[in-house]
Amino acid sequence: MVNCICTKEKSKHKKEKSMIDKFCAYLTKKIRKEMPEVDDERAEVIMYGLQNIIGELPKGIIILIIAYILGIFKLTVISILIIAPYRCVSGGVHMKTHIGCIIYTLLLYSGSSLLGKYIVLTGIVKIMLAIAIWIFCMIMIKLYAPADTENLPILRKKERKQKQILSYIIITSEILIAIFIKNTTISGIIIFGDFIQTLTITRIAYRVTHNKYGHEIYAES
């Protein structure tokens, strides 16, 4: 009986995934029709991005519900708006399971919100910590950003350079905002959030989560 239920659930999951894949393939074809300059490689990247966006919606809803229950809904939304742009260009690890992904995203966004809310940084302490984390982030960006994955490698040198430069710009801008902004909660979210996100691009984080840098894999083949 249990095996029967599990089989049905797996079959349902495959059907849902297939529907998402078909819908994303349809959207990708439409994009290529409107933009003939999009080659096969870029089309794959677009389709993968669409699959992630559409497939991640249920997880996003779950995370926001949990944040609401914890009483940090607004702060979590703010942390997403702050950290997500940096993550988009700097990259980072990806979890292998849905539960792992939810836990990871909660730690990144809601965790940053809680740290910003309950650890009040002011004066010279805030400035010194912000500068120390900025230096750490700049070094890690130089070494690892953009930190790609097996499923979505970033192979073009020009694209890698652009994302790395954008990582430098975003992290510097956000740390400056954190130093000068009067709202201690927001400054805390920026400082802790950027630090946690930067940790996810490091080689240690990749080893712990069993991820591999995509560009290194393709360079070896």
Averaged pLDDT of the chain: 87
Model confidence over 94-109: pLDDT tens digits? 888 878 888 999 999 9
One-letter identity of residue 150: E
* pLDDT for 12 beyond 50: no
Neighbours of 187 (CB within 10 A): 24
| Chain centroid to CA 200 | 9
Q: CA-based angle 206:202:56, to the nearest 5?
A: 60
Q: What is the largest CA-CA distance in the chain?
A: 63
- pLDDT band of 18, cuts 50, 70, 90: low
pLDDT confidence of residue 154: 92
Collapsed DSSP state (helix, strand, coil) of residue 95: coil
Output 144 or 49, whichever has higher pLDDT.
144
Query: 183 in helix, strand or coil?
Result: coil
For residue 32 the two structure tokens come to 């290529």
**Contacts of 94 by beta carbon, 8 Å cutoff, 6+ apart:** 101, 149, 151, 209, 211
For the chain, give the percent of residues with pLDDT over 90.
63
H or E element, residue 166: helix 157-180
- List, for residues 62-117, the tens digit of each pLDDT value: 889 999 999 999 999 999 999 999 999 999 998 888 788 889 999 999 999 999 99
By CB atoms closer than 10 A (0-12, 13-18, 19+), residue 179 is middle
- pLDDT mean over 119-127: 97
The answer to whether the beta carbons of residues 113 and 72 sit under 8 Å apart is yes
The pLDDT score that the predictor gives to residue 3 is 39
Query: Per-residue pLDDT for 55 more than 70?
Result: no
Determine the pLDDT at residue 22: 82
**Band (44; pLDDT cuts 50, 70, 90):** confident
Average pLDDT over residues 8-19: 48
Vertex 207, ends 43 and 202: CA angle to 5°? 75
What single-letter DSSP state applies at residue 155? -
What average pLDDT does this structure show over 1-18?
42
Q: How confident is the model at residue 133 (pLDDT cuts 50, 70, 90)?
A: very high
pLDDT digits (tens, 9 = 90+) for 170-207: 999 999 999 999 999 999 999 999 999 999 999 999 99
Amino acid of residue 212: K
Entry pTM: 0.78
